[in-house]
Chains A and B, each alone.
Chain A
């Protein structure tokens, strides 16, 4: 996982060659937390005390779906931030030991004959990650299915590529559901390509190095320059989904089961070798850490997502969402502190940028609020990979400055694109009004009450 550079001829990239020991199972939590991003409490159809079954849609029609991944009793419906800090609504469920499946989620009888609309609805309804675009009804031209690790420490099971026939049918389902003209299967450069893929599928060999596996970078490599991700989870008209979700979707649709479990890679403090875990979606991170025998230390960091651009959680009760691929715990000694020092113009950031931006200049313009110049230099094409800040010898917060420039531009009247900062207050952190802490040990009746951070 080191940074490789050869005489400056090959740009430095963080190698993604991570291997993990076998996959272990995290036990079902007592309290599951399900979040519907971009929604309010009024969008939730259940109320405290209601019994829910696995697969039940907890959101009101048109707002969701928010698929129950566990069976149990609702203990609270509250406001809570989504995976990226956007406002959302959360349902907390006291999990019952006995699992029963909702009748609402009917199996798709004949996958080969089902229409695109039916498939789209079924995939969305099963709670599969990457299906937000279906909710918004946006036209998809290119569908990229990725078997490449997104970030260092993330492990993608190579066995997923073994069965060509299963792969072909799963890709066919997603192509029909998305209506994409072109399907690209991104595989690691060293991996074998399964036979029997339909002619409409292009196989793209992708270097096994960060950030080539990032959805944004895959979209750029396949479809030219990028405009920042839209709320629908698209990059321009390109949709990127993980291969694990695509393969899991076949079973989900056939059996009428929701996407309720996912495999995540966990990095413990001081370790560079991830441990793979299968976790029920909605499990609080604290329970995953307990299963690993880890305790967060005060002053450390807990990242939902990758070490390069994951979201640092203010408290360990944040749940695993369908999009979570990684969980990273850092000891206080591992927490990196960026510094506000002058750029030495060494050019390391410019050389490492996967989309060839003038990062050193952008960093300086953003630092002095010259966002007009940032726009001239196409700051919106930044893919947020974080490599610039990773390599900076002066430890300047370059990635953060670029993000700041982009968000400021998005909020400007001329360019209303997609703000990530929900309230626009720019005060991201523990005081974020959209972040909500959950009390895992409280009695059900108290669990809905907001706590002060």
Chain B
């Protein structure tokens, strides 16, 4: 054998085989049940919104990366996930231009401006959605009661969160908790499929794509604050069960807040981030102008991620050991002494 033809490198010389595309394939797979259920309920309109959102997100990412001379990475599936998550938040009857605006701005402003995958401080999905939500002439298109009025769905055609805002706890008598849990409620294409999202979320946990800390913190945060408020005034504030199974809490806990780049990686950071998202959600539901506080709760908590990531137990070498290591350091000393 010719000498010098072997590869030399430092360890590790094995790799576990994890790849970025597999992460996003797992997320897409976890969203399949909720997506299929949404398409069955709202038909071609829902399929159109989903296709448009995913297509425009991927196209925006590819065009931006081509234009800026960076490698095109749409094959990793992250843009497709952004598009799908956005579509599942929206009502099926939303105008096409709004889907494109949200998805393109989400990708460009929310992600590419900061350097692409991994560098975005906020979830691109939520940036796109928030742009629609806070743009005055468009926010009406996100009103589920108005948008879904022409569909025949076979359950109470009122958005539970809007009912709660308008009528308080007294208005919630018409909803059955079991119906709400099974996703028989007015809402986004996929974000209202509570049970199916829970199944998808558990799949992501089992695959190791997300950590249990953020979803758990989120759900505990919602439960605790809703329970406390309900305890204070049962007439004015809905209980924890209603808060958990309506709106986008389940979607937020497992899919939106766990977006890797905009969530912490430390154990305590993740728990506190999840708790904060959950608590703010109920606070926004109780006192803000928005029906469902999940999106803004997550956006707000994402801003604190760099701080939350500092909440770590720092290993510090004991001083004595440092001294010992320093004393033993020069290799030659003992030998020279011996000579």
Of B17-25, B41-49, B279-287, the stretch lying at the interface with chain A is: B17-25
Instruction: Determine if B321 is an interface residue (Cβ-Cβ < 8 Å).
Output: yes
CA of A29 to CA of B117 in the docked complex: distance in angstroms? 54
CA of A332 to CA of B13 in the docked complex: distance in angstroms? 12
From residue B239, how far is it (CB to closest CB) to chain A in Å? Answer: 28
Q: Are B13 and A330 in contact (CB under 8 A)?
A: yes
Of B1-9, B150-158, B225-233, B245-253, the stretch lying at the interface with chain A is: B1-9
| B13 contacts across to A, CB distance below 8 A | 301, 303, 307-308, 310, 312, 328, 330, 335-336
CB contact list, B303-339 vs A, under 8 A: 309, 312-318, 320-322, 324-326, 328-332, 334-335, 338-339
Instruction: Determine if B172 is an interface residue (Cβ-Cβ < 8 Å).
Output: no
Instruction: Determine if A138 is an interface residue (Cβ-Cβ < 8 Å).
Output: yes
Instruction: Determine if B162 is an interface residue (Cβ-Cβ < 8 Å).
Output: no
Q: A357-B315, A386-B12 are in contact. Are A5 and B208 (CB under 8 A)?
A: yes
Chain A residue nearest in CB terms to B323: A227
Q: Are A392 and B261 in contact (CB under 8 A)?
A: no
Other-chain contact of B322, A227, A305, A351, A357 (Cβ < 8 Å): A227
Other-chain contact of B12, A39, A389, A428, A437 (Cβ < 8 Å): A389
From residue B241, how far is it (CB to closest CB) to chain A in Å? Answer: 24
Map CB proximity to A onto B260-279 as digits: 1 under 8 Å, 0 otherwise. 11010110000000000000
| A403 contacts across to B, CB distance below 8 A | 10
Instruction: Determine if B140 is an interface residue (Cβ-Cβ < 8 Å).
Output: no
CA of A116 to CA of B35 in the docked complex: distance in angstroms? 73
The tally of residues in A whose CB lies under 8 Å from a CB in B reads 95
Other-chain contact of A298, B6, B265, B338 (Cβ < 8 Å): B6
Q: Are A309 and B317 in contact (CB under 8 A)?
A: no
| A295 contacts across to B, CB distance below 8 A | 1
| B325 contacts across to A, CB distance below 8 A | 227-228, 230, 236, 417-418
CA of A204 to CA of B117 in the docked complex: distance in angstroms? 44
Q: Are B11 and A399 in contact (CB under 8 A)?
A: yes
Q: Are A136 and B328 in contact (CB under 8 A)?
A: yes
Q: Are A344 and B3 in contact (CB under 8 A)?
A: no
CA of A299 to CA of B8 in the docked complex: distance in angstroms? 9
Of A69-77, A170-178, A194-202, A375-383, the stretch lying at the interface with chain B is: A375-383
| A395 contacts across to B, CB distance below 8 A | 15, 19
From residue B28, how far is it (CB to closest CB) to chain A in Å? Answer: 15
CA of A227 to CA of B265 in the docked complex: distance in angstroms? 25
Instruction: Determine if A158 is an interface residue (Cβ-Cβ < 8 Å).
Output: no
Of A120-128, A184-192, A313-321, the stretch lying at the interface with chain B is: A313-321
Q: Are A9 and B6 in contact (CB under 8 A)?
A: no
Instruction: Determine if B212 is an interface residue (Cβ-Cβ < 8 Å).
Output: yes
Q: Could you say which of A302, A381, A387, A389 has the most chain B C-beta atoms within 10 Å of its C-beta? A: A389
Chain B residue nearest in CB terms to A314: B8
CA of A380 to CA of B317 in the docked complex: distance in angstroms? 8
Q: Are B316 and A225 in contact (CB under 8 A)?
A: yes
Other-chain contact of A7, B115, B118, B206 (Cβ < 8 Å): B206
| B97 contacts across to A, CB distance below 8 A | none
| A8 contacts across to B, CB distance below 8 A | 205, 208, 210-212
Q: Are A344 and B20 in contact (CB under 8 A)?
A: yes
Instruction: Determine if B16 is an interface residue (Cβ-Cβ < 8 Å).
Output: yes
Q: Are B317 and A298 in contact (CB under 8 A)?
A: no
| A232 contacts across to B, CB distance below 8 A | 328
CA of A86 to CA of B111 in the docked complex: distance in angstroms? 45
| B118 contacts across to A, CB distance below 8 A | 342-345, 394
Q: Are B115 and A299 in contact (CB under 8 A)?
A: no
Q: Are B321 and A236 in contact (CB under 8 A)?
A: yes
Q: Are B3 and A437 in contact (CB under 8 A)?
A: yes
Q: Are A350 and B8 in contact (CB under 8 A)?
A: no
Q: Are B328 and A314 in contact (CB under 8 A)?
A: no
Q: Are A309 and B12 in contact (CB under 8 A)?
A: yes
CA of A106 to CA of B299 in the docked complex: distance in angstroms? 75
| B309 contacts across to A, CB distance below 8 A | 358, 361
CA of A137 to CA of B334 in the docked complex: distance in angstroms? 8
From residue B316, how far is it (CB to closest CB) to chain A in Å? Answer: 6
| A351 contacts across to B, CB distance below 8 A | 211, 265
| B332 contacts across to A, CB distance below 8 A | 38
Instruction: Determine if A252 is an interface residue (Cβ-Cβ < 8 Å).
Output: no
| A344 contacts across to B, CB distance below 8 A | 20, 23, 117-118, 260-261
22 contacts between A and B (CB under 8 A): A7-B206, A86-B331, A136-B328, A224-B318, A227-B325, A231-B331, A306-B11, A312-B8, A315-B4, A315-B6, A332-B7, A336-B15, A342-B117, A357-B315, A358-B265, A389-B15, A390-B15, A391-B18, A399-B11, A399-B12, A417-B325, A437-B4
Question: Which 4 pairs of residues, A with B, have the shortest CB-CB distance?
Answer: A386-B12, A62-B338, A347-B265, A309-B11
Using CB atoms and an 8 Å cutoff, list the residues of chain B in contact with chain A.
Answer: 1-16, 18-20, 22-23, 115-119, 205-206, 208-212, 260-261, 263, 265-266, 309, 312-318, 320-322, 324-326, 328-332, 334-335, 338-339
